[in-house]
Amino acid sequence: MAGRSVRRRAISLAAATAALILPVLLHAEGVSLIADLEYFANSEQSTEKATGIVTDSDFSRFSQLYRLDLSRYLYPNVLVNLGGNYEYDDLTSETQFSDIAGVLESDTTERTIRPYVSVDFKDPIYRANLAYRTRDVKTTRSVVGTENLMVDEYQGVFNWRPVDLPLLNINYLRTEVEDDPLTIDSTRDVVNVLSRYYYRDFRFQYSFSGRDEYDNIRDSGSITQNHNAGVDYNRGLVIMNNRFDVNAAARILQSSVEFTGAAEENQTVDTPAAEQGSAFYILNDTPPTSNEPFELIEVDGGNPLTNVNIGRGGGISPVSAGLSFGVATDVEAVYIQLLEGGENFPDLASPSQVAGIADSFIWHFYVSDDQFELNWTEVSISSATYNSVDNRFEIRTAGAVSARRIKVTTTPLTLTAPGEIRYRSIRAFTTLGSREPENLDQNYSFGLRWLKSERTTLGYEASYRTQESEPGGSERDTWTNSMFFRHVLSPIFSTNGRYYHTKRTRTISQRGEQEDTDQSYSIALRGDYLETLSQSLIFTGWDSDRAGINTDSKSILLRTNADLYAGWSMNVDLNYSLNTLADGADQTVKSMYLETNLEPNRWININVDYSIIWTEQEGRVDNRNQYGTAQALFAITRTLNTFVRYSFRDQEGTTDYSAYLREFNINWSPFPDGDLSLSIGYNESIDEASQELKTISPGLTWRVGRGIYLEVRYDRGTIESPVESADFDSYIMKLRFFY
């Protein structure tokens, strides 16, 4: 392995040298330079109430980042990009206990070099890209010693878009990872091929993904292959003045895994889910169990997933990212790829910085099959880890789930994050293991919509899905039938409804056959009384019989949307449901949700939302949960504004707790051009563990000159909990130069 390590360092040195020489060759065109210097320090004194032991701790972090990016067209269709980052972090900490003589000290330095070079070939019919990226991370700890991580990536992309012929996209990526002392030594080759062709009312698609991974230390690896082929048909027909929309689809997914080397028993490999899905996000997902359809922001060019920031400056509201599938899709893991580097986002935290706080995030996973009201059900998570080599979060469910929508929710870290942490993509995966190395998944669907008149629409949808796994002889067949209608009763009233019935049959060798059935139904009456006032009365129900266990639910919801006045809107939900749980117990749930927004003029914006849920269940204590937020933004003058927020959570019943957050901020830009901005904020909160936090935070942002920015913030606060009390001071200073 020494030869490969030497070769890697030689390539890194060559790329770094090229980054210095090529500005002369490129005549300094397309040059971008950034230098960031950041210093963070925190001092805290805490006292244990039970023992009286006093702990003094000091922590500091000095970060340097230098980035150079160069680009130029060597030919009309050839674009060269190259550059790199140099990062250096110096972290020190000291801890002293009143009952122990001496001071515990630690010092850590981390140096990261990330050069890259890429060449783009652009043509109206085809495009190609060749790229090389490397990351050399050297970490020196006063206690453990020195560690070195090397990550090399080689990428090739080819896109062919001929006229009236199938388009073709090919993407190849090779990743080599090695560290010193040797604990990681692996290679990974990934090939993705996509072809799509449109002919009249048909759309043909085929994709292949192959992954070859090998761990040289364990002498084991795996080769995963996925073939996904499909055809869709969609056509509108007019027969005897009646309009029909007909659609049909067939999809076949074949997945296999071959373990190589000294393969171990019960190995597992993640493979892409049968449906890729379309991504969406929700920036303020409170509460996350119920959403309006318009709250799901579909990811596209105008709404990129990079709008989701769970790091510094991301706010304090829970945010969600998810996927919508055309049919119910099995999912066992979700990868959230993070954005890394880039001129458009110079404040991003590096992978090593994210790794330092990754354990602080709390994740939740939700699924939904409701295509109308988007009610979500939370499922358990078995693990949520951060992969620093690939710069992504990997969230795994406790068991396989099947749903038409999934989403992952977390709350940003506003105080501890060393920089912005932005999403780049989200993907769903299933898991193949050594006991099931080959899966065949076939899905066939048919739909007919009859526009009987301008007032009446009827529809029918059917799908059949069969799944086979070998070895083991596992088979699963799923039949789904649904009918729906929509009818306009009058200019004011309209009604719609839908009925689903799903039957699953699963056969396992030596175990026999198991049959499950699910059915759901809904009917809604909508009244549009005025342009500013509408109501919907929705009745929904479902029942399930799985492995002889029966559960059911019936609920009624009254939803009111009103524009009370110009600039003042209000939405109110009243819900009542009766549920029968798996243990046979009856459960009653009543809830109310209210949201109102007031914007009388461009100087004032007030938003209030409140929800309360009562739960009664046989043999258990009654529960009541409340959640509410009130926030207001007042622009006192063109250069002076203030922001106020109050949030609370309260629960009574099985577990009693109360939590709240008060936030107050004043921002002042004394000069019209905004070169100098001053702010002061105050936060006070109590969490579910009765820990009280109070913080006052003055700060300034100053555009010192062209291409020079200075940011300074100071935090002073106290922490009071049932077991200890603490006082802390922290400050951060950041100086940026860019060209």
Interacting residues of 559 by C-beta distance below 8 A, sequence separation 6+: 535, 536, 538, 571, 572, 573
Say what the pLDDT of residue 265 is. 56
Highest mean pLDDT: which of 278-292, 461-475, 608-622? 608-622
pLDDT at 12 over 50: no
pLDDT reported for residue 368: 84
pLDDT at 578 over 60: yes
* pLDDT, mean of residues 116-136: 93
This prediction has a pTM of 0.78
Characterize 427-443 residue by residue with b for buried, 16 or more Cβ atoms within 10 angstroms of its Cβ, and e for exposed. Answer: bbbbbbebebbbbbbbb
Q: What is the mean pLDDT of residues 538-552?
A: 85
pLDDT at 3 (0 to 100): 46
What pLDDT is stored for residue 433 in this prediction? 66
Confidence of residue 14 (pLDDT cuts 50, 70, 90): very low
Reported confidence tier of residue 321, pLDDT bands at 50, 70, 90: very high
CA atoms within 13 A on the CB side of 176: 15
Distance between CA atoms of residues 541 and 552, nearest Å: 7
Task: Measure CA 203 to chain center.
Answer: 30
Question: Across the strands, what pairs with 664?
Answer: 644, 682
pLDDT in tens, 705-727: 888 999 999 999 999 989 999 99
647 or 274, which is more confident?
Answer: 647
Q: What is the pLDDT of residues 386-401, one digit of tens each?
A: 998 888 999 999 888 8
Residue 271's pLDDT is 81
Q: CB of 232 within 8 A of CB of 395? A: no
- The whole-angstrom distance between residue 642's C-alpha and the CA centroid of its chain comes to 30
Judge whether residue 679 has pLDDT over 90: yes
Q: Residue 11 pLDDT more than 60?
A: no
pLDDT of residue 302: 84
* CA–CA dist 134, 9 (Å, integer): 10
Paired tokens of 348:
């991003």
Q: Please tell me the predicted confidence (pLDDT) of residue 239.
A: 73
Please state, in angstroms and rounded to a whole number, the distance separating the CA atoms of residues 687 and 411. Answer: 14
Model pLDDT, residue 56: 92
Reported confidence tier of residue 437, pLDDT bands at 50, 70, 90: confident
pLDDT at 21: 37
The pLDDT tens digits of the residues spanning 83-104 come to 998 999 998 999 998 878 778 8
pLDDT at 316: 67
508 compared with 26, residue with greater pLDDT = 508
Q: Tell me: pLDDT of 260 over 70.
A: yes
pLDDT at residue 572, rounded to an integer: 93
For position 403, what pLDDT does the model report? 84
Asked if 309 and 321 touch (Cβ cutoff 8 Å), the reply is: no
175-231 pLDDT tens trace: 999 998 888 899 999 999 999 999 989 999 999 999 999 999 888 888 889 999 999
**What pLDDT score does 472 carry?**
65
Mean pLDDT in the chain? 86
Look up residue 594 and give its amino acid: L
The listed range with the strongest mean pLDDT (268-272, 407-411, 546-550) is 407-411
Cα-flanking dihedrals φ and ψ of residue 390, to 5°? Answer: -95, -5
Least-confidence region, from 132-136, 314-318, 592-596: 314-318
Residue 511 has pLDDT above 70, yes or no: no
Whole-number pLDDT of residue 347: 78
Q: Summarize pLDDT for 465-497 with one digit per residue, the tens.
A: 898 887 666 788 889 999 999 999 999 999 999
Please name each of the domains of the chain with its CATH number. 268-433 (2.60.120)
